[in-house]
Chains A and B, each alone.
Chain A
Amino acid sequence: AQTVTQSQPEMSVQEAETVTLSCTYDTSESNYYLFWYKQPPSRQMILVIRQEAYKQQNATENRFSVNFQKAAKSFSLKISDSQLGDTAMYFCAFMKPTNAGKSTFGDGTTLTVKP
């Protein structure tokens, strides 16, 4: 079974600065997807960014980018120019395309952006 570990339960960052959230996972699969989701205090989960394991290029979405290290099974999220609206819980998730699409989530990192 796959496991996803987020070792930072809480983090904080000053507005406009950069922060990196860590995620490691364990799998014997070679093809899979990795995701970062954001869950603001209103609690609706929103997809932030997605990475296919077969792609060597790291995914980017505006201020959000990942550092995907397949050999190390590491998938960190970098948020640049942090904004107050980035305050949320962030979940790392793993999915095998062949496994009915269900995702395995980490326990999350609570990020607070301070003015």
Chain B
Amino acid sequence: DTGVSQDPRHKITKRGQNVTFRCDPISEHNRLYWYRQTLGQGPEFLTYFQNEAQLEKSRLLSNRFSAERPKGSFSTLEIQRTEQGDSAMYLCASSPPPGTSTDTQYFGPGTRLTVL
């Protein structure tokens, strides 16, 4: 079990540029979540996938944000035309299928985005 991995771990970009982050969940987990965490606050839910289907999106996810999980395995989160307010830690989490013995989410190390 290699855990949830995220790439890159750090990204510095200039305002107006596009960025893309990748998340690889634990292999047998079919549910995948993206959260955003700013300094001094808890994670805020952004979006949720079950297999390849994006089932829920937060109102925090503006139209500049898009997430995909094309084959139900890894996921990407893209931010277009980045703004300084997008600077945050972006966390990915995965969990086993519904109805299994646990609904626990397992988090990755996160991607820290800095927009200059």
Contact = CB atoms under 8 A, between A and B. Distances in A.
Contacts of B43: 45, 91, 103, 105
Given A105-B43, A107-B41, A107-B42, A100 B91 contact: no
Contacts of A101: 31, 33, 48, 95, 98, 103, 105
A93 B48 CA distance: 17
B107 interface: yes
B48 A100 contact: yes
Interface residues of A, number: 24
A35 interface: yes
A44 B104 contact: no
Interface residues of B, number: 26
A97 B44 CA distance: 17
Contact of A107 (B40, B55, B91, B107): B40
A77 B90 CA distance: 26
Given A93-B42, A100-B48, A107-B42, 15 more contacts: A4-B42, A33-B103, A35-B104, A43-B109, A45-B107, A46-B107, A91-B42, A97-B98, A100-B31, A101-B31, A101-B95, A102-B48, A105-B42, A105-B43, A108-B40
Interface of A: 4, 33, 35, 37, 42-47, 50, 91, 93, 95, 97, 100-108
Interface of B: 31, 33, 40-45, 48, 50, 55-56, 89, 91, 93, 95, 98, 102-110
